[in-house]
């Protein structure tokens, strides 16, 4: 099987690709690393020296060479879908192209957290960088056989999701990937909420305040029911507040 990972810079294609190749028992090729080895210098300096057209031509040639191998996982650069000859390779019948998709905020956080130099990132303001991300989203979507949402997932979780898909693909996989990411986001937000509950408990204990404050709780429920009246069933909002409130009270009482 020939698997190609595409997606914007910073979504984790190299890390996921390495884990995926290991899980499937296949060879891994990082196309950017292959280009750097081919030209004998880091990509940022080479990109600046020769310009994007020459870089894209070399990228296309090395991608075609990499696809001569069987049972390989290839992670590509974020701009691979900008070159028509590369898109033709991505659309080959013997190639399974997977788009690793993240929200722009996630991408920006990842890029800011690393010292790795991205040539195109240096050429853009935040606004124009966002525009580039938007433009490429459409191109990734047109090219990929599968889209995997990576937000709030670890590389290992993303890898497991892809392995499950290759073992038994369904038409629901892309949508389920998005739902899975949202579930993780919700649980992460709930964990953050409980951390704040612990801070509130400490403040209440220090100032001898009541754990249960019915007036505030009722007002909060009223505001949230009004805010989400058009998008969520009232019962769902009430059930959520009941669960979180009861959990918060138990945690606060345990600290007093």
Cite the annotated binding site for Mg(2+) by residue number. Answer: 14
| Residue list for the binding site | 10-15, 32, 56, 78, 118, 136
CA distance 178 to 180: 5
C-alpha span between 44 and 62 (Å, rounded): 17
Nearest to 253 by CA among 214, 211, 224: 211
Phi–psi pair at 123, nearest 5 degrees: -90, 0
Known binding-site residue numbers for ATP = 10-15, 118
Rg (CA), the chain: 23
Give the C-alpha distances (Å, rounded to integers) separating 4 from 181, 183, 238: 22, 27, 45
- Of 195, 196, 176, 173, the closest CA to residue 184 belongs to 176
Is 255:201 a contact under the CB 8 Å cutoff? yes
Helical (H) or strand (E) element with 84: helix 84-90
Please give the annotated binding residues for substrate, written as ranges. Answer: 32, 56, 78, 136
């Amino acid at each position: 099987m020939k698997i190609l990972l595409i997606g914007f810079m910073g979504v984790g294609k190299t890390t996921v690709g390495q884990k995926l190749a290991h899980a499937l028992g296949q060879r891994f090729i990082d196309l950017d690393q292959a280009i750097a080895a081919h030209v004998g210098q880091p990509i940022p300096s080479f990109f600046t020296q020769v310009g994007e057209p020459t870089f894209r031509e070399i990228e296309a040639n090395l991608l075609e060479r990499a696809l001569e191998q069987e049972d390989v996982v290839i992670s590509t650069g974020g701009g691979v879908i900008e070159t028509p000859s590369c898109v033709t390779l991505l659309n080959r019948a013997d190639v399974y192209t997977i788009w690793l998709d993240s929200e722009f905020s996630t991408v920006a956080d990842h890029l800011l957290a690393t010292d790795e130099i991205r040539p195109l990132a240096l050429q853009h303001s935040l606004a124009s960088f966002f525009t580039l991300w938007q433009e490429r989203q459409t191109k990734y979507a047109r090219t990929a056989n599968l889209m995997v949402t990576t937000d709030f997932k670890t590389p290992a979780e993303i890898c497991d999701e892809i392995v499950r898909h290759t073992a038994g693909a369904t038409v629901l996989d892309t949508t389920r990937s998005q739902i899975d990411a949202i579930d993780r986001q919700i649980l992460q937000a709930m964990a953050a909420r409980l951390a704040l509950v612990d801070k509130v408990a400490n403040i209440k204990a220090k100032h001898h305040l009541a754990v249960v404050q019915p007036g505030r709780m009722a007002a909060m429920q009223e505001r949230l029911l009004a805010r989400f009246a058009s998008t969520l069933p009232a019962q769902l909002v009430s059930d959520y507040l009941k669960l979180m409130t009861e959990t918060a009270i138990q945690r606060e009482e345990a600290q007093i």
